[in-house]
Amino acid sequence: MPDLSQRDPLNRFTGLAGLYARSRPDYPATAIDFILQHCGLRAGRLLVDIGSGTGISSRHFASHGLRVIGIEPNADMRRQAEAEPEYRSLIAYQDGKAEATGLPDASADAVLAAQAFHWFAAGEALKEFRRILRPGGWVIVMANERDEGDPATAAYGAIIGGAKEAAAIEQPRRVAAQALRNSPLVRRAERRQFPNEQVVDEEGLLGRAFSASYAPKEPEAVKQFIAALRRVFAEYQIDGRFHLRYVTSVDVAQLG
């Protein structure tokens, strides 16, 4: 499987933090509840959110009373997360990366990678996760993927998936969690999937598309990309709203 850690994950989101925070889909409550219950995560436990980005997933877990350390190497994304006032007493963001978090040994009850695991050097990252986890701690990999069994989402996917570099990013991303399930470090693993939906207006659909690190940047390509997205919105919108369907996958594992 191609190693996306070699595709500059640190810098490719620079300048996208505000758009990312406004435009990315959330995670369904059913997925969060499954993680909390399956992993025995209660208020006061420490979860390390690696590749925490703008803090979407960090805030979810802090809302349930968990203490959260968000590890994010991109300064723009980290500043955007720090600007959000919700649950800040429970969340601390800091520089670091999956393969070298800078955290003490056996300090975390769970390690989370939400929409981020595909950017890691999986083998090195899992060794680091094992180092910082307490005995019995959990690794959680969570990701939203488009549900292209839905016609509107498939039409959107045909456009975003046609962007330069899209296939090189999306294909490894879809199978990234296999590296967790297949790791010799794993002694117990389980996967669950949950339906998810994002409802946007026309500008929201454009924002969602351009929040992808591989969205076009050349002026003529941007113009064509926008025109195609507007056509899809016009065809599939219902009362000015476009429904993007996702499947949220959750992989949970304990390391030996």
Structural contact between residues 70 and 52, judged by C-beta atoms closer than 8 angstroms: yes
Predicted TM-score of the model (pTM): 0.95
Domain layout of the chain by residue ranges: 4-255
pLDDT of 14 reads: 86
Determine the CATH number of domain 4-255. Answer: 3.40.50.150
Q: Is 2 exposed, middle or buried (0-12, 13-18, 19+ CB in 10 A)?
A: exposed
Q: Mean pLDDT in runs of 10 for the chain (256 residues)?
A: 65 89 97 98 98 98 98 96 95 97 98 97 97 98 98 98 89 94 95 98 98 94 97 98 98 95
* Whole-number pLDDT of residue 139: 98
- Both tokens of 225, joined, read 């990309």
For residues 37 and 140, is the Cβ–Cβ distance under 8 A?
no
Dist. CA 188–CA 255, nearest whole Å = 7
Structure tokens at 211: 């929040």
Strands of 81-132 (E only): list them: 91-94, 108-114
| Long-range Cβ contact pairs of 231-238 (< 8 A, separation 24 or more) | 232/152, 232/155, 232/156, 232/159, 232/205, 233/202, 233/205, 235/155, 236/151, 236/152, 236/155, 237/202
Closest listed residue to residue 117, CA positions, set 183, 200, 195, 216: 183
**Per-residue model confidence (pLDDT) at position 165:** 86
**What is the model's pLDDT at position 102?**
97
The predicted pLDDT at position 3 comes to 64
The closest of 87, 82, 92 to 49, measured between CA atoms, is 92
pLDDT, position 2: 56
Between CA 241 and CA 238 the distance in angstroms is: 5
C-alpha distances in Å from residue 146, one per residue of 61, 154, 188, 248: 23, 8, 27, 9
| Per-residue model confidence (pLDDT) at position 164 | 85
